Structure 1
Amino acid sequence: MVSGAQGGRLEELAAEFSHIERAMGDPAVLANPAEYTRLTRRHRELTPVVALHRERAEVVGALAQARELLADPELRELAAGEVESLSARLTELDAELEVLLLPTDPDDARDVILELRAGAGGAEAGLFAVDLLRMYTRYAEGAGLKLNVLEASESDLGGASRVVAEVTGEFAFRALKWERGVHRVQRVPATESQGRIHTSTVTVAVLPQVEASEVHLDLSEVRIDVFRSQGAGGQGVNTTDSAVRAVYRAGTPDEIMVVCQDGRSQIKNREKALQVLAARLAERERAAREAEERQTRAAQVGTGERSEKIRTYNYPQNRVTDHRLEGEVKNFALDSVVAGGLAPVVAALARQERERQLLDLAEAPDGAA
């Protein structure tokens, strides 16, 4: 049952939704791309909540009418059936709304900068990085997202020591945020003559893209270099003279280097490099603010040591194990996952997080939530 506080919150969200719909038709808003983008993003976030809220109101009204008919001897049996089905639907709606009203990640709707770095394991780690990139590309396609490689540093045997990609589309961060951390692979490398299983790692960072106004980036502290691209570890980046390297506070402890060699346009590459740089600066600021909660970027991606992992890809056993889950629910078919079938893994992790939030809410003192 939706509580009084939750009911009040639903009314507030419904009012905000109506206000946004009116604002989106305002010529002044239409002339402001940044504001229009913000409003459309919020509109998408609120749509499922408001739709359920409106359906709930209709069900509550229909249920009240059905209960009144219980007093009519001729309609009592029919009304009893209506009361039962409407009550069941009301229970379902309350459960769905309870989940939707849980705290959400404010970055869920943002586009993403995805970084993969080969860790322990030498050439095999570089090959695994390319395998993960292929997995994410297929997953993105299935989720209606677009993945575009911005930078890839070639390593031995067609692998990549580092890959930076941009993922765009509705709720890209929500689709990929669970991938942050160390991914471990156990398999027999193609170069292994004695059939021994090797263990290698790749660290994955998922950075929400930020608007220029959300982070202070002093261009006087950024050095821009233009050079000829060196290829992309088999990922097909064009070889041109327009690759761009952006270095923030070069030679200082704060230095951040970004390379973009995606297209033939130097202007576009410069723009993308600055976007990635802004995302990294925002992540650095976020890490500093949340250090006490161990949500720094270092904690996000780990060191790349074999003992640190969020997920293991075991090829001999055709099994992927996500170590953040418990019981049999943590195991998935490897061939499906590496082919881009990450949705069941993401769903299990999101479900676990919702259950944790509901438990915290139930255990919190009255009014603390």
Structure 2
Amino acid sequence: MFDKLDATVARYHELTRQLGDPALFNDNQRTVMREAAQEHAGLTALVETYLRYRQVVTHQAEASALLIGENDPDLVALVREELTALAQEQTALAEQLHLLLVPKDPNDERNVIVEIRAGTGGDEAGLFAADLFRMITRYAEAHNWKVELLSSHESGIGGFKEIIFEVRGRGAYSRLKYESGVHRVQRVPSTESQGRIHTSTATVAVLPEMDEVEVDIRAEDLRIDVFRAGGPGGQSVNTTDSAVRITHLPSGLVVSSQDQKSQLQNKIKGMQILRARLYDAEQHRQNAALDATRRSQVGSGERAEKIRTYNFPQSRVTDHRIGKTLYQLEAVLAGDLDEFINELNTADQAERLQAAAESNE
């Protein structure tokens, strides 16, 4: 393990040197600079933890040497106290290093595209989709991430049949990926005259945003149609053919975008969504070929799986993946998701650590 860590430290110092090279900041090297900066940032926590671990080991050796032939009881007691503290720190740092060495999701630092769709439950499902949209956007705002609407189809009573939006911010995917799946709500709809509790669902898909160079889409594989946008919008949104429908012929995927003011903007946003969906489809294809016991299921985002229930009569929210229940429904719907996400992340890390240990056996 330590040989690998020494090599990582050497790589980190090399990246530090590269990032200090003014030549990287010219137009032709921007991609290289961005990749180097991302790799450098990704290694920082591991390198700093390992360097501190080496310091602790060195201090232990130095303190132990002081005890050789030492007869002063006060000094001996002081050194032994220091050795106890250093041993505790060494144990904690070793555990932290093992976690940091667990293979990470390569998409964790990416921006995300979130797709929310009403499921079963008619108009109530559309209203619940709107609730989930507000929940996730408020969570994003609390983390100083930027949210941009890409596409939406309203249900007519304040809900959404579908809403797609982008969240931009470092680590957005690492946190929001745990929201992928089927969300279920149990409450009395506003349209219910008998006071009966209804159950409705909405699906959430959290897709890492991909760069053009990372997903190869050939122009000849696309059919692009334009049409007149509908629904609320700017002054010209309903009077010009600004909406865009993109069909990816090999896969059959269809993406529509109509919420931007111009045809070009809608095409750009539509291509963003298409790249994310194509990457997601390829990831699901690859994951399906893997041994189920060798990959984490906590953050897999299987959208056929019910992940969370929001029960309004009891003000209860239950995450079924970790068996955790909070009686703080209003706070959760207001974007207070960290307690769930932190435990999901811990469970995910534990599974990755176990899988890594099994692969080394």
Task: Tell me the residue number matched to 1:42.
Answer: 39
Task: Tell me the residue number matched to 2:71.
Answer: 73
Indicate if the aligned counterparts of 2:184 and 2:202 stay in contact, CA closer than 8 A. Answer: yes
Q: Deviations over 1:294-348 (max 9, x none)?
A: 79xx98222xxxxx5111111111111111113xx34452222111011111111
In the alignment, structure 2 segments of 5+ residues that lack a partner are: none
Task: Tell me the residue number matched to 1:291.
Answer: 288
Q: Deviations over 1:193-230 (max 9, x none)?
A: 11111000001111111121111211233233444443
Which of 10, 20, 35 lines up with 2:5 in the alignment? 10
Q: Is the counterpart of residue 301 in structure 1 residue 303 in structure 2?
A: yes
Indicate if the aligned counterparts of 2:178 and 2:301 stay in contact, CA closer than 8 A. Answer: no
Indicate if the aligned counterparts of 2:316 and 2:325 stay in contact, CA closer than 8 A. Answer: no
Q: Is the counterpart of residue 139 in structure 1 residue 136 in structure 2?
A: no
Q: 1:57 to 1:277 in 2, by over 3 A?
A: same
Which of 24, 28, 33 lines up with 2:19 in the alignment? 24
Q: 1:290 to 1:238 in 2, by over 3 A?
A: farther
Task: Tell me the residue number matched to 1:324.
Answer: 321
Q: TM-score normalised to the size of structure 2?
A: 0.89
Q: How does 1:209-228 map to 2 (within 5 A)?
A: 209-228=209-228
Q: 1:19 to 1:242 in 2, by over 3 A?
A: farther
Indicate if the aligned counterparts of 2:246 and 2:270 stay in contact, CA closer than 8 A. Answer: no
Q: Deviations over 1:263-301 (max 9, x none)?
A: 334433322211211111122222222323479xx9822
CA distance in structure 2 between the partners assigned to 1:14 and 1:319 by the alignment: 47
Indicate if the aligned counterparts of 1:321 and 1:330 stay in contact, CA closer than 8 A. Answer: yes
Count of matched residue pairs: 348
CA distance in structure 1 between the partners assigned to 2:231 and 2:95 by the alignment: 51
Deviates more, 1:36-45 or 1:92-101: 36-45
Q: CA RMSD in A?
A: 2.4
CA distance in structure 1 between the partners assigned to 2:97 and 2:225 by the alignment: 51
Superposed displacement of residue 83, structure 1: 0.7
Q: 1:269 to 1:21 in 2, by over 3 A?
A: farther
Task: Tell me the residue number matched to 1:310.
Answer: 307
Q: Is the counterpart of residue 63 in structure 1 residue 49 in structure 2?
A: no
Task: Tell me the residue number matched to 2:181.
Answer: 181
Q: How does 1:82-121 map to 2 (within 5 A)?
A: 82-121=82-121
Q: TM-score normalised to the size of structure 1?
A: 0.87
CA distance in structure 2 between the partners assigned to 1:238 and 1:287 by the alignment: 41
Q: Is the counterpart of residue 351 in structure 1 residue 346 in structure 2?
A: yes
Q: Secondary structure at the match of 2:103?
A: coil
Q: Deviations over 1:124-145 (max 9, x none)?
A: 0000000000000011112232
CA distance in structure 2 between the partners assigned to 1:99 and 1:30 by the alignment: 34
Q: 1:355 to 1:237 in 2, by over 3 A?
A: farther
Deviates more, 1:136-145 or 1:254-263: 254-263
CA distance in structure 2 between the partners assigned to 1:11 and 1:262 by the alignment: 51
Task: Tell me the residue number matched to 2:246.
Answer: 247
In the alignment, structure 1 segments of 5+ residues that lack a partner are: 303-307
Which letter does structure 1 place at the counterpart of 2:15?
Answer: I
CA distance in structure 1 between the partners assigned to 2:309 and 2:57 by the alignment: 48
Q: Deviations over 1:99-139 (max 9, x none)?
A: 11111111111111110110000000000000000000011
Indicate if the aligned counterparts of 2:248 and 2:254 stay in contact, CA closer than 8 A. Answer: no
CA distance in structure 2 between the partners assigned to 1:206 and 1:187 by the alignment: 25
Q: Secondary structure at the match of 1:158?
A: coil
Indicate if the aligned counterparts of 2:183 and 2:309 stay in contact, CA closer than 8 A. Answer: yes
Q: 1:299 to 1:10 in 2, by over 3 A?
A: closer
Superposed displacement of residue 28, structure 1: 4.0
CA distance in structure 1 between the partners assigned to 2:92 and 2:48 by the alignment: 14
Indicate if the aligned counterparts of 1:245 and 1:257 stay in contact, CA closer than 8 A. Answer: no
Q: Secondary structure at the match of 2:157?
A: helix
Which letter does structure 1 place at the counterpart of 2:334?
Answer: A
Q: Deviations over 1:214-260 (max 9, x none)?
A: 1121123323344444346xxx788624744242246x7x3222223
Q: 1:243 to 1:19 in 2, by over 3 A?
A: farther
Q: Secondary structure at the match of 2:314?
A: coil
CA distance in structure 2 between the partners assigned to 1:337 and 1:121 by the alignment: 21
Indicate if the aligned counterparts of 2:179 and 2:301 stay in contact, CA closer than 8 A. Answer: no
CA distance in structure 2 between the partners assigned to 1:359 and 1:330 by the alignment: 25
Which letter does structure 2 place at the counterpart of 1:73?
Answer: N
Indicate if the aligned counterparts of 1:238 and 1:263 stay in contact, CA closer than 8 A. Answer: no
